[in-house]
């Protein structure tokens, strides 16, 4: 395409020109710190979650280290209007995540407030989740959880304000007897996921697992 000639796709790591459907070149891909977590095994992420709410299983694709390539990839997705990044991250996830014979019943995404959704133009989790849904043949619901208050991004908050999540979320529909996989971009303190998890658990005889693109360690 003409645009590709004037604005070629470049590797987020080294700025080399790469194919349009890639995020990084082969060399930089090797520099991404994947977690190598197993969904059914104990991990740092699972131990953190267990301190906050009853959890079944969990998975994190990458480590979210300071000045890392994984951090740059997530920021491109969230703040640089590169929504297609979600599809690529989902494809990387499918290569590493195996639900075996214990698939969740439903994928549920952490919502944005309607004001923030309008500002950003998209929820960074939607393409990611929809790609996973198609691959695993598991339905998704972007509207089961409602964010009640507008707030600035977690990354821009200090630690005190990150803990202020009471009444931030509510259920739009009561569900019961379901295994819900909560999906978010980055696990930091875990308070956002915990708040949502408790809403789901209070709604009925449900189970909660977690999937994040990256964990801040």
With 50 as the cut, is the pLDDT of residue 3 above it?
no
124-147 confidence digits (pLDDT tens): 999 999 999 999 999 999 999 999
The token duo for 8 is 């070629």
- List of domains in the chain: 1-31 (no CATH), 34-215 (3.40.50)
Q: What are phi and psi of 112, to 5 degrees?
A: -95, 150
How far is residue 214's CA from residue 37's CA, in Å, rounded to a whole number? 11
State the Rg of the chain over Cα.
17
> Model's pTM, two decimal places?
0.89
For the purposes of burial, counting CB atoms within 10 Å of the CB of 198, is it exposed (0-12), middle (13-18) or buried (19 or more)?
middle
The chain-wide mean pLDDT, for the chain, equals: 90
Q: Return the bridge partners of 63, or none.
A: 215
Report yes or no: 65 and 71 within 8 Å, Cβ to Cβ.
Answer: yes
3-state secondary structure the chain: CHHHHHCCCECCCCCCECCCCCCCCHHHHCCCCECCCCCCCCCHHHHHHHCCCCCCCEEEEEECCCCCHHHHHHHHHHHCCCCCHHHHHHHHHHCCCCCCCCCCCEEEECCCCHHHHHHHCCCCCHHHHHHHHHHHCCCEECCCEEECCCCCCHHHCCHHHHCCCCCCEEECCCCCCCEEEEEEEEECCCHHHHHHHHHHHHHCCCEEEEEEEEECC
Lowest mean pLDDT among 3-7, 75-79, 83-87: 3-7
Mean pLDDT of the 194-215 span: 96
Mean pLDDT of the 87-96 span: 97
> Which residue would you say has higher pLDDT here, 143 or 150?
143
Compute the C-alpha angle 117/121/123, nearest 5°. 60
pLDDT of 151: 67
pLDDT of 70: 95
């Amino acid at each position: 395409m003409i645009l590709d000639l004037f604005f070629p796709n470049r590797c987020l790591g080294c700025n080399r020109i790469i194919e349009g459907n890639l995020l990084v070149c082969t060399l930089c891909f090797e520099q991404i710190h994947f977690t190598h977590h197993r969904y059914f095994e104990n991990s740092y992420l699972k131990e953190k979650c267990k301190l906050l709410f009853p959890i079944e299983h969990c998975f994190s694709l990458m480590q979210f280290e300071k000045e890392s390539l994984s951090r740059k990839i997530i920021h491109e997705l969230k703040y640089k209007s590169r929504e297609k990044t979600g599809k690529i991250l989902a494809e990387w996830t499918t290569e590493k995540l195996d639900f075996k014979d214990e698939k969740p019943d439903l994928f549920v995404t952490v919502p944005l407030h309607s004001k923030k959704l309008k500002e950003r133009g998209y929820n960074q989790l939607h393409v990611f989740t929809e790609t996973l849904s198609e691959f695993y043949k598991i339905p998704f619901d972007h509207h089961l959880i409602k964010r009640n208050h507008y707030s600035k991004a977690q990354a821009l908050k200090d630690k005190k304000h990150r803990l202020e999540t009471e009444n931030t979320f509510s259920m739009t529909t009561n569900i019961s007897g379901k295994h819900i996989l909560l999906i978010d971009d980055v696990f930091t303190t875990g308070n956002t996921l915990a708040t949502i998890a408790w809403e789901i658990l209070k709604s009925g005889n449900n189970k909660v697992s977690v999937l994040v693109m990256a964990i801040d360690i």
